[in-house]
Amino acid sequence: MELTRKRSFTDFDRPAHDFRREFKGSVLEKKFAKKQSNKQNVLRLVLDWVLSRGAQQLQKKKQQQSTSTSPFDSIPNEVLYEILNFVNDHSSILSCRAVNRRFHALVDRGYHSDKMPLQLSRLIISGLPRGRGAEMRWIAYETQQTKTISIAQAAIRKPQNFQFNFKRFVIHRLILKDINLTDDFICFLRLQLSSADLSQLSQLTLSKVDFLNANSLTLHCLLAVVGKNLENFEVHDCYNMRPDSITDAHLIQLNAARIRRISIDGVKLCRMGNSLRLDKLFTVSYFNFLYFRIGDESLQHFASLKSFPAILLDRCIVTTNTVCDYTQEWFDSVDEGEKRLRSQVVTVKRCVHVKGSAFEAECRKRGLSCRNRRGSGSLTLYNVHEENTHRVFTVALAAALMQENQENDEKPVEILTNKETIPTK
């Protein structure tokens, strides 16, 4: 018996089996064709219904427009503008926006005209990254509108007048944020504000502003334009500042009859070198470069004019006697019947000339009752009040850092004259 090996590979000479011939005309092909035709029919029905529905709505709109034509619709927009200009109440004009789309567009355009100024609740000016320019954003709460404009650095260096926008602005708050304060920027801003209405301006805020390229006259030029109407002046978290960045002369520019709050907090002074170039030889210490030149002159100025705004001073050179004089003057000038002035707050932070123990002893010499209590952070609150009265004057004090005091005593300063250098001990 002979053994034969089973062939495991197909015979390539034999033609392959064609399954397509078996599938064509079979029962499976008929079932699949029915399902596919059903899906196509459903899609066609949905598409036809959508097209017919849209055609019906267009016909209804055309019929309504043809039947609802009124004589009022034939009035041109220019005539409606003249009618709205006779209305002096802005709230009544804004309520007309709810009539229809035409009135909504008319009021929005007419509100920006010269006769209807735009009330800016906030004008925020911030710097663009890498010093490419500035971004101006205005917010109007009354009309619920906001808009942002980017200004290139070239337009700031060679100031361009945006009078077509600013001449219709009534600014209430001006905020400078994350921007490099320079003389070119202040000149540009003064040019724009000269066209705007600043009679309602109540707040000027400088937040996270870089004072590296600014000098004492930079802020002076800005306050010369807006300082007369301010009620709130804030300088927060600014850096690279110098002792003359904010001085008594700047605070005196504020209108004492209107100012209600002055806040200088969280500021950082730039590191000064170990030498100063002076024309004349005189003794100077490193202490003068750690604090602003805000001293007794500011408090004495406001007290002489019977104006007592809420004050927050950081890194100043105010003395204890001046703070006590300011407190005593407030008690002497404020009427007991004025409830809104029943209490007042003055905060002095990181000022080496004002110490809690000296302030408390000075108040007792003047016959004032003083109680201290712990405040937030490193603040100590001193409640000063007269006998048989409800008026309370609160003074918040924060001591200077120990490291700063050590640097003041130990670090020498070199005074450079025109010819030679003389180190001081």
Query: Per-residue pLDDT tens for 307-363?
Result: 889 899 988 889 888 988 888 888 888 765 554 444 678 888 888 888 888 888 888
Q: How far is CA 287 from the centre of its chain?
A: 33
| The Cα angle at residue 232 between residues 129 and 245, in degrees rounded to 5 | 55
The residues spanned by each domain of the chain are 76-110, 117-271, 275-425
Of residues 200 and 144, which shows the higher confidence score? 200
* Residue 135: C-alpha distances to residues 150, 179, 264, 279, 289 (Å): 4, 10, 25, 42, 33
Q: Is the pLDDT assigned to residue 257 strictly greater than 50?
A: yes
Average pLDDT of span 68-89: 74
Quote the pLDDT of residue 422. Answer: 34
Quote the pLDDT of residue 286. Answer: 44
Quote the pLDDT of residue 98. Answer: 84
Of residues 158 and 405, which shows the higher confidence score? 158
How many residues appear in the chain? Answer: 425
Quote the pLDDT of residue 276. Answer: 41
Rounded-to-integer distance, Cα 190 and Cα 220, Å: 12
Average pLDDT of span 91-102: 82
- pLDDT, tens digit (0-9, with 9 covering 90-100), for 217-256: 999 999 999 999 999 999 999 999 988 899 999 999 999 9
Of residues 75 and 288, which shows the higher confidence score? 75
Q: Is the pLDDT assigned to residue 193 strictly greater than 70?
A: yes
Percent of the chain with pLDDT over 90: 24
Most confident region among 26-35, 43-52, 55-64, 227-236 by mean pLDDT: 227-236
Rounded-to-integer distance, Cα 390 and Cα 193, Å: 44
Tokens, residue 88: 């002096």
Quote the pLDDT of residue 403. Answer: 44
Of the pLDDT bands very low, low, confident and very high (cuts 50, 70, 90), residue 302 is very high
Most confident region among 3-17, 78-92, 163-177 by mean pLDDT: 163-177
Quote the pLDDT of residue 22. Answer: 65
Percent of the chain with pLDDT over 70: 73
Bridge partners, 119 (sequence order): 170
Q: Is the pLDDT assigned to residue 280 strictly greater than 50?
A: no
* Residue 306: C-alpha distances to residues 67, 203, 264, 320 (Å): 71, 21, 21, 20
Q: Which of 89-103, 235-249, 314-328, 385-399 has the lowest mean pLDDT?
A: 385-399
Q: What is the pTM of this model?
A: 0.67
Quote the pLDDT of residue 248. Answer: 93
Task: Give the E-state strand segments of 333-387 in sequence order.
Answer: 343-349, 369-374, 380-385
Nearest to 252 by CA among 303, 200, 297: 297
Of the pLDDT bands very low, low, confident and very high (cuts 50, 70, 90), residue 203 is very high
Average pLDDT of span 33-55: 73
End-to-end CA distance of the chain: 125
Of the pLDDT bands very low, low, confident and very high (cuts 50, 70, 90), residue 271 is low
| The Cα angle at residue 202 between residues 196 and 204, in degrees rounded to 5 | 85
Quote the pLDDT of residue 238. Answer: 93
Mean pLDDT of the chain: 77
Average pLDDT of span 149-154: 88
Quote the pLDDT of residue 168. Answer: 80
Rounded-to-integer distance, Cα 205 and Cα 232, Å: 8
Q: Is the pLDDT assigned to residue 131 strictly greater than 90?
A: no
Tokens, residue 337: 């019947």
Rounded-to-integer distance, Cα 128 and Cα 137, Å: 12
Q: Is the pLDDT assigned to residue 417 strictly greater than 90?
A: no
Order the strands of the 232-236 sheet from edge to edge: 145-152, 133-140, 122-127, 173-177, 203-207, 232-236, 261-265, 310-314, 343-349, 392-398, 380-385, 369-374
Quote the pLDDT of residue 178. Answer: 93
Quote the pLDDT of residue 13. Answer: 55
Q: Is the pLDDT assigned to residue 56 strictly greater than 90?
A: no
Of the pLDDT bands very low, low, confident and very high (cuts 50, 70, 90), residue 284 is very low
